[in-house]
Amino acid sequence: MIVAKELVKEYKIYQHRRGFFGAVRNMFSTSHTIVRAVDQISFRIAAGELVGYLGPNGAGKSTTIKMLTGILVPTSGELTIGGIVPWRERVKHARRMGVVFGQRTTLWWDLPVIETMDLLRTIYKIPQQQYRRNLEMFTDLLGLSEFLNTPVRSLSLGQRMRADLAAAFLHDPEIVFLDEPTIGLDVLAKERIRQFIATINCEKKTTVILTTHDLGDVAKLCRRVMMIDHGKVLFDGALAELVSRFGGERRLVVDFAEEYDDQSIAGARIIAKEGRKVTYAFHSNGNGVAPLIEDLSRKYKWADISLQDPDVETTIRRIYEQWESDHSATRLPC
């Protein structure tokens, strides 16, 4: 579906000289620096995948998405989506994709939501039967019926986001770009939107690229994640692999059947005690939890055991911190 090879996007940042004489010099000569926002990124995304594209602010996410949508032309490298180059066949590409930007709307501000949908049906030349089927499905999944006849300007943020999602998927696009689709929403609105995205991706096999800072979206929606910083890909693989490789310590919670003075086990350290309940922290190092349970069973009687994996947010924060530390070590002092 998407094939990117060594994509590079550079910007010229012109330096402005201040003061009267600086203004005169600006009229006759200019100087600039080159900033590389995307630095030789390569990846493949198969049709029907739901991929989380993650990174801190300024990492290069938005620049990548703009190249994928055809808004920007890369400085160098190759990019095809469904066999076409996005910026060379913008109209054809636009008909095959949908976009949702968390802080911007594609809806007509003064029109009721249903009239926006009718306009989109005409613009995308959606067959009447397909239009009715999708609108009925989206109304049910997103709860649109309560505000279909309300002007967009009168909608709450959560209502507008639901309407924007319906508009983006209305014409059955092959690929949809979602930029912060749950930003600023309450827990219930987020959950409804996540369920909608997961359902459409599963049932219609729509390829979805999700950029977000809400790691709850990632944990609940994405099996594959791509992490980017300073224009380079830090990680590209399964979410489970990311947590396994970079997640740090896991937790083992044991309810002992009896009281023990010494509750230590080899390969783990005690981090919390509450009555007979003890929480251990450990690094699996590829061995899993089996050696710990074997040691526990030899030494003690226990009533219950549970295992807690590192959460996604902690994992990704650790990767960013490590990346920043590594790069800071190479920087010259001011």
Listed by start position, the domains of the chain span: 2-6+40-243, 249-309
pLDDT of 14-35, one tens digit each?
777 777 776 777 777 777 788 8
CA distance 165 to 99: 8
Q: Residue 38: name the closest of 58, 69, 14, 10 by CA.
A: 10
C-alpha distance from residue 159 to each of 142, 163, 191 (Å) = 9, 6, 13
Model-wide pTM > 0.85 = no
pLDDT of residue 145: 93
pLDDT of residue 312: 63
Give every residue of the chain whose pLDDT is below 50, as ranges: 329-334
Helix or strand (DSSP H, E) at 291:
helix 290-299
pLDDT of residue 208: 96
CA distance 140 to 137: 5
pLDDT of 129-152, one tens digit each?
999 999 999 999 999 999 999 999
Q: Which CATH class is domain 2-6+40-243?
A: alpha beta
